[in-house]
């Protein structure tokens, strides 16, 4: 979902 996707960058 969007909530977890938004912290996939370093």
Cα–Cα distance, 9 to 4 (Å, whole number): 11
CB atoms < 10 A from the CB of 4, how many? 7
Cα–Cα distance, 8 to 3 (Å, whole number): 10
What minimum distance in Å lies between the beta carbon of 10 and other proteins?
Answer: 5
What minimum distance in Å lies between the beta carbon of 5 and other proteins?
Answer: 8
Where does this chain bind other proteins (CB under 8 A)? 2, 4-10
What minimum distance in Å lies between the beta carbon of 1 and other proteins?
Answer: 10
């Amino acid at each position: 979902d969007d909530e977890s996707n938004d912290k996939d960058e370093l």
